[in-house]
Structure 1
Amino acid sequence: MQVPVMVMNANMERETGRKAQLSNIQSAKVIADIIRTCLGPRAMLKMLLDPMGGIVMTNDGNAILREVEVAHPAAKSMIELARTQDEEVGDGTTSVIILAGEVLTAALPFLERNIHPITIIGAYKRALEDALNIMKDISIEVDISNKPEMMRIIKSTIGTKFVSRWSDLMCGLAYDAVKTVNLEIDGKREVDIKRYARVEKIPGGEIDESKVLDGIMVNKDVTHPKMRRKIENPRIVLLDCPLEYKKGESQTNVEVTDESHWSRLLEIEEEQIKEMCDHIIRLKPDLVFTEKGVSDLAQHFLMKSNITAIRRVRKTDNHRIARATGATIVNRVEDLKDSDVGTQCGLFEVRKIADEYFTFLEKCENPKACTILLRGPSKDVLQEIDRNLQDAMCVARNVMFEPRLCPGGGATEMALAVRLGEKAKTISGVEQWPYKAVAEALEVIPRTLVQNCGGNAIKTLTQLRAKHATVDNFSWGIDGESGKIVDMQEYGVWEPHAVKAQTVKTAIESACLLLRVDDIVSGLSRKEAGGGGQAPAMQEAPEEVGER
């Protein structure tokens, strides 16, 4: 007779039922506690040492959790949440972890009273649905072409970060960059900031010198010292092929018995390169960019025709140059046509910044790609500014896609908590209590904001609840600087509806997922985990590798 379902080795660990659920909730709570102090404008920074010995100082939830090493599968799942949130909307990574941890902790008393997890999950799902509808009711529409209004929204993202001192400058950079790469094709909006808005960080200079270029900058110099380094209104050709002699395949052997044959071989090489260059020269370009190499001979021919060549450009940079200048990237010089030449660039110039040479393509007409030039005192500062700027650009992008805003400063969460609490009274049966627990868990965001700026959490939250008790006061929240309650409509802190909705959705859905787990099987025993030995594998592989 066969052994049913699962064969376990004697030294394997296994957590089942209640024990597994409690350990999941505990580990999620630990992860949430790590970054609880990173929420709000008075957030503390974490100093992280990476495996290479480098130092990262940041209060960005995703950046912190990326560096944290954990063994528990539930903790790993929580860390994955921050990454998902960052990829999806680019902001709210800290909030989503804190909220998920709190929603899971809220389920603890019900599990202890032997309420089935599926009943709790049913109530959570219902609460999520109602929360998203309430959020739509309390959100307002925004005009994306109104720059001051957009700047105010982006400021609420940067206000809690390291760069808040230069908030006007950074918000301006984020808004300009997103507006530049914003493209509408057949009524569909495309805002690809990852591919077309590149951030170049150059240590040195003042942070105030940072700017969004109306074109592209690449860390390259011309290939030949006598080539022109400044050209106005250049004609630009972009290539994805080498300007070098095409040698035969690796199997090719050439046997030279006569000196004249060797000379002929060299002549063939020269003729081929000249033919390649002639294809380019007939279009009379001023600038040639190629992703591959340019041989010395090709440089000579191009220089004689007064053409500047730049080689080994990154593929991503080449795509950006194509978007900004209107040129087409060509794979064979024989296929070059006049329509492939880019003419939308106003100025090409090679400049020296610090010890390096940079190629600038500026004054482009309607560029749909750009480079953001960041200057700052040190590498660490620039890394943090870059992380904060990415968040700001994501927020600007989200608002362009979905121009709706929710009040910030914990006001949305408090409004949801109060309204869900009211709705819970209309639900009959056991589901009422987990539903109410979600409402109470949402208060963790305003509570954490008050705690992080040293306020009195109980007193402030009581005042805030009293404000939200009347129907129209949904915009009251916490001033993250002083810990007092303020009206967000006057205070001017707004957050994109997309970010808020994604935060609540991700937090509650992940809590439901972890509550469903009732078995954690580990393939490592405690003794062997220390010694590095591995226990024999199970016949049925567990879905999660558990505690060490």
Structure 2
Amino acid sequence: MQAPVIVMNTNIDRETGRKAQVSNVTAAKTVADIIRTCLGPRSMLKMLLDPMGGVVLTNDGNAILREVEVVHPAAKSMIELSRTQDEEVGDGTTSVIILAGEFMAQALPYLERNVHPIVIISAFKKALEDAIKVIDDISKPINVEDEAEMLNLVKSSIGTKFMNRWSDLMCKLALTAVKTVVKEEDGKREVDIKRYARVEKVPGGEIEDSKVLDGVMLNKDVTHASMRRKIENPRIVLLDCPLEYKKGESQTAAEIMDENHWNRLLQIEEEQIKEMCDRIISVKPDLVFTEKGVSDLAQHYLLKANITAIRRVRKTDNNRIARAVGAGIVNRLEDLKEEDVGTKCGLFSIEKIGDEYFTFITKCENPKACTILLRGPSKDILNEIERNLQDAMCVARNVFFNSLLAPGGGATEMAISVKLSENSKTLEGIEQWPYKSIAESLEVIPRTLIQNCGGNSIKVLTQLRAKHATGNHSWGIDGLTGNIVDMNEYGVWEPHAVKVQTLKTAIEAACLLLRVDDIVSGVSKKKSGGGGVQPAPQEMEGEGELGER
């Protein structure tokens, strides 16, 4: 029997060895260069056009890279870094990309000198361990109960953002929102800002009109015009079931022989609705929220009982209301009990803002859920403020979990750089050079801060190195003037968690890309439009398949 012959089809794009490694380094550097100018308080804005014709103006690294379309697999991997950083700690999305790009660039000379990637990776991992120890050494604890210290910290996170003009107001909003949703359970602290701190953007008014509500706000109006629009200390019932005729689960057929049957059918429906409403009325609520619909007849019965109903509330909003007013969400009206009624709300009101009606459930006692109402001149500005506010809330949340602060303004990176340079002299063999390259790479953060405000990077970096060499680890760059300052006096500090996560993500990503020695694309040039390396082996089809006989 003849052995099968495997034909490698010429339609497969393939980059191997050095070519693949150089290609990855170039891709990483390109992505880093896109957002290098977005670091620091003097950062530039990027104007992005999305496929729908919308315009986004932002200097948030994650928001920019979300909109950028790339073909190269290494570039896609880099873009994924900022998303990971954003989900994990919510800040440092620009720094992580700049650092990862610099680590890759510093590794290139060693690859060209035929140093094996595994040796470089081993040195990088060693450098990461030592860097984390340095961050631990230079970090200082913070008292999360001290509002002035917390406001200073949050201010440093948004000092580089578009909304730093209103930093006092925004810091207070972020801190109030996070403090509201903190929940202690069994000695563990839960801070779920994604689920329980919602941002509502309403164009119009002044930015100074923005506030954190001690409760929840919905873009809803009452179902019937005659229902009450303002109730003090309301009793609230939350439902996850419709107040409409019950319909059959599957295809239901009813055969009607004469007019009496038809009248009886309508009568049964009305009886069902009345029974539902009677069950609700029995617990004497003032307000009913349901995630489903409310029929006209149900509105009639509720109105007669002086109950206000609001329908088609989103599940996420219903969960927030439940947490704010201490109510339970009821799935079946048969299970409705007195303890499911929420009584912690001080005021229910409906107000008209602009052209729309909004429902406010405020003055809740210890709400544990809140809505941040943002006002501003246009949607673009509100979207950017929301992105910056999310970063500020994440920073405050991180400090609640890990109350350590590291100096900002590139001071931490410079301290690590100086320490790693000293350590590299004690290492033997080839490893010391890639290890030292991490020390040099970390200077990219202070250097970029100086460049972005038009300073002389060589002169200022030399002064900063001299300060750190004498043990002054809190000295960094003033992002507004480009001069060196003591962060203890200047007051720019960043959460320990953000610094550690940034370094871990950047070094791990660089190690991952350095291990790649082969890039294979199974999509032929004709299909892919002739350019770029396609990162999709699963799309290999037709004549471009491996193993064709």
Structure 1 partner of 2:534: none
Structure 2 partner of 1:477: 476
Moved more, 381-390 or 255-264: 255-264
Structure 2 partner of 1:546: none
Aligned-pair CA distance for 1:253: 1.9
Q: 1:7 to 1:179 in 2, by over 3 A?
A: farther
- Distance in 2 (CA, whole Å) between partners of 1:531 and 1:86 is 34
Q: 1:199 to 1:540 in 2, by over 3 A?
A: farther
Contact 2:11/2:544 (8 A) holds in 1: no
Unpaired runs of at least 5, structure 2: 532-539
Secondary structure at 2:234's aligned position in 1?
coil
Aligned-pair CA distance for 1:513: 0.4
Contact 2:9/2:546 (8 A) holds in 1: no
Aligned-pair CA distance for 1:93: 0.4
Aligned-pair CA distance for 1:266: 1.2
Structure 1 partner of 2:543: 536
The C-alpha deviation readout for 1:120-173, integer Å capped at 9, x for no partner, is: 000000000000011101100000011110000000111011100000000000
Contact 2:12/2:544 (8 A) holds in 1: no
Structure 2 partner of 1:93: 93
Secondary structure at 1:536's aligned position in 2?
helix
Secondary structure at 1:467's aligned position in 2?
helix
Which AA in structure 1 matches 2:543?
A: P
Q: 1:207 to 1:2 in 2, by over 3 A?
A: farther
The C-alpha deviation readout for 1:71-91, integer Å capped at 9, x for no partner, is: 100000000000000000000
Structure 2 partner of 1:503: 502
Structure 2 partner of 1:409: 409
Normalised TM-score (structure 2): 0.96
Structure 2 partner of 1:317: 317
- Distance in 2 (CA, whole Å) between partners of 1:443 and 1:283 is 66
Contact 1:12/1:535 (8 A) holds in 2: no
Structure 1 partner of 2:293: 293
Secondary structure at 2:543's aligned position in 1?
coil
After superposition, residues 359-378 of structure 1 pair within 5 angstroms as 359-378=359-378
After superposition, residues 46-195 of structure 1 pair within 5 angstroms as 46-195=46-195
Q: 1:353 to 1:415 in 2, by over 3 A?
A: same
User: Is 1:446 the equivalent of 2:443?
Assistant: no
The C-alpha deviation readout for 1:379-414, integer Å capped at 9, x for no partner, is: 000000000000000000001110000000000000
User: Is 1:383 the equivalent of 2:362?
Assistant: no
Q: 1:228 to 1:528 in 2, by over 3 A?
A: closer
- Distance in 1 (CA, whole Å) between partners of 2:450 and 2:405 is 22
- Distance in 2 (CA, whole Å) between partners of 1:127 and 1:215 is 47
- Distance in 2 (CA, whole Å) between partners of 1:124 and 1:376 is 46
Contact 1:203/1:378 (8 A) holds in 2: yes
- Distance in 1 (CA, whole Å) between partners of 2:527 and 2:175 is 54
- Distance in 2 (CA, whole Å) between partners of 1:538 and 1:348 is 65
Moved more, 248-257 or 280-289: 248-257
The C-alpha deviation readout for 1:242-292, integer Å capped at 9, x for no partner, is: 001112244322222222222211111111110011110010000000000
User: Is 1:421 the equivalent of 2:446?
Assistant: no
Contact 2:453/2:479 (8 A) holds in 1: yes
Structure 2 partner of 1:526: 525
Root mean square deviation, CA, Å: 1.5
- Distance in 1 (CA, whole Å) between partners of 2:445 and 2:248 is 66
Structure 2 partner of 1:512: 511
- Distance in 1 (CA, whole Å) between partners of 2:190 and 2:399 is 13
- Distance in 1 (CA, whole Å) between partners of 2:14 and 2:312 is 55
- Distance in 2 (CA, whole Å) between partners of 1:535 and 1:498 is 48
Q: 1:343 to 1:2 in 2, by over 3 A?
A: farther
Which AA in structure 2 matches 1:521?
A: V
Which AA in structure 1 matches 2:362?
A: E
Aligned-pair CA distance for 1:528: 4.4
Structure 1 partner of 2:432: 432
- Distance in 2 (CA, whole Å) between partners of 1:380 and 1:311 is 30
- Paired positions, count: 539
- Distance in 2 (CA, whole Å) between partners of 1:396 and 1:67 is 27
Contact 2:107/2:120 (8 A) holds in 1: yes
- Distance in 2 (CA, whole Å) between partners of 1:380 and 1:209 is 17
Secondary structure at 2:529's aligned position in 1?
helix
Unpaired runs of at least 5, structure 1: 542-548
- Distance in 1 (CA, whole Å) between partners of 2:298 and 2:507 is 61
Q: 1:186 to 1:177 in 2, by over 3 A?
A: same
Secondary structure at 1:35's aligned position in 2?
helix
Secondary structure at 1:14's aligned position in 2?
strand
Which AA in structure 1 matches 2:53?
A: G
Q: 1:144 to 1:282 in 2, by over 3 A?
A: same
Contact 1:196/1:320 (8 A) holds in 2: yes
Contact 1:411/1:476 (8 A) holds in 2: yes
Secondary structure at 2:409's aligned position in 1?
coil
Structure 1 partner of 2:224: 224
- Distance in 1 (CA, whole Å) between partners of 2:443 and 2:201 is 39
- Distance in 1 (CA, whole Å) between partners of 2:141 and 2:501 is 18
- Distance in 1 (CA, whole Å) between partners of 2:48 and 2:412 is 32
The C-alpha deviation readout for 1:404-446, integer Å capped at 9, x for no partner, is: 0000000000000000100111101110000000000000000
Aligned-pair CA distance for 1:540: 7.7
Secondary structure at 1:51's aligned position in 2?
coil
Secondary structure at 2:285's aligned position in 1?
coil
- Distance in 2 (CA, whole Å) between partners of 1:387 and 1:2 is 61
Structure 1 partner of 2:266: 266
Contact 1:528/1:534 (8 A) holds in 2: no
- Distance in 2 (CA, whole Å) between partners of 1:371 and 1:247 is 36
Which AA in structure 1 matches 2:148?
A: P
Secondary structure at 2:221's aligned position in 1?
coil
Contact 1:323/1:368 (8 A) holds in 2: yes
Normalised TM-score (structure 1): 0.96
Secondary structure at 1:520's aligned position in 2?
strand
- Distance in 1 (CA, whole Å) between partners of 2:261 and 2:110 is 90
Contact 1:20/1:519 (8 A) holds in 2: yes
- Distance in 2 (CA, whole Å) between partners of 1:65 and 1:106 is 23
- Distance in 2 (CA, whole Å) between partners of 1:298 and 1:452 is 63
Contact 2:523/2:544 (8 A) holds in 1: no
